Each structure stands twice: as structure tokens, then as C-alpha cells.
């Protein structure tokens, strides 16, 4: 699956899944890689779940900065 959100920072996006039995899982990462994009769609960096060992306030502040810079994912 390859989906682009040109005006949505990667730190805001997550993936939830539900299997055929109705089991719901939130913030699934697995082999999920997020590519941060600038306002022109150029890749700035690639991130994985292993890269995200930060506090929620630090992630919130970074997402705010990414929104101001019109970055996407």
C-alpha cells in the first residue's frame, strides 16, 4: 500500500486494523515506513516505528512545526 498525504505530517498519521474476527489493533507499525515530504513532494526523510522512541510532547511540537512548513507524508 502506498498512500500520500501531501499536507498531513507523518507524526499525526497512524494505522489501525481490524481482522475478520473483529479484533481491533491501534497504531500498528510492523513494516510501515513513513516518508516525510516537503511542500513540493520531495522526500525529506524515511521513518519507521523503531525511530519513534520520543515523548508525546516532543512529537506534538514537531508535528506543529511540520504543519507550519506544509510538510506531508
Checking if the pLDDT of 67 tops 60, the result is: yes
| 48 part of a folded domain | yes
Sign of CA dihedral 45, 50, 54, 57: positive
| 34 part of a folded domain | yes
- What is the total count of domains within the chain? 1
pLDDT at residue 26, as a whole number: 72
pLDDT at residue 29, as a whole number: 58
| 5 part of a folded domain | no
Average pLDDT over every residue of 51-68: 81
Domain that holds residue 43: 10-68
- Residue 1 corresponds to which cell in the numbers above? 500500500
| 3 part of a folded domain | no
Give the number of other Cβ atoms within 10 Å of residue 44's Cβ: 15
Amino acid at each position: 500500500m502506498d498512500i500520500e498525504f501531501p499536507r498531513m505530517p507523518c507524526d499525526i498519521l497512524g494505522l489501525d486494523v481490524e481482522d475478520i474476527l473483529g479484533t481491533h489493533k491501534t497504531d500498528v507499525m510492523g513494516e510501515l515506513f513513513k516518508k516525510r515530504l516537503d511542500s513540493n513532494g520531495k522526500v525529506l526523510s524515511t521513518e519507521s516505528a523503531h525511530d519513534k522512541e520520543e515523548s508525546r510532547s516532543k512529537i506534538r511540537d514537531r508535528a506543529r512545526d511540520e504543519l507550519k512548513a506544509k510538510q506531508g507524508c
